[in-house]
């Protein structure tokens, strides 16, 4: 698995939006991975203080500064809440394979350099 192999599936807008997500909301990849690997009961119990309860989207979302994150067993959804509220014609939601998403956030520094 490489950054190039993963990101060749996405357009330039998604690549840049994901870079913004990494910059704005990914400080602790292990914390996010823990959330993604937890079942719904554990998410509600152990992450209750950082859940987004008023997003208007269906699912259990981890709240960030600008983005919220949710997942099922195969995919991760990243939603730009600012764009959802104020910029209706921009990219609002990104969907990634869960294993690829985890790889990308664990390689944040390399991704940021790759985007330059």
| Whole-number Cα distances in Å, 20 to 26, 37, 38, 73, 115 | 10, 23, 25, 25, 11
Question: Model pTM?
Answer: 0.92
> pLDDT digit of tens for each residue in the chain (116 aa)?
899 999 999 999 999 999 999 999 999 999 999 999 999 999 999 999 999 987 788 889 999 999 999 999 899 999 999 998 888 778 899 999 999 999 999 999 999 999 87
- Is residue 43 within 8 A of residue 60, CB to CB? The reply is yes
């Amino acid at each position: 698995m490489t950054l190039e192999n993963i990101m060749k599936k996405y357009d330039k807008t998604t690549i840049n939006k994901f870079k913004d997500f990494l910059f704005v909301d990914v400080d602790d990849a292990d914390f996010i991975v823990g959330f993604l690997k937890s079942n719904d009961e554990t998410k509600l119990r152990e992450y209750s203080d950082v859940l987004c309860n008023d997003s208007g989207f269906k699912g259990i979302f981890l709240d960030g500064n600008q983005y919220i994150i949710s997942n099922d067993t195969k995919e991760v959804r990243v939603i730009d809440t600012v764009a959802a509220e104020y910029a209706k014609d921009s990219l609002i939601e990104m969907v990634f394979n869960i294993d690829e998403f985890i790889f990308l956030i664990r390689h944040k520094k390399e991704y940021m350099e790759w985007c330059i």
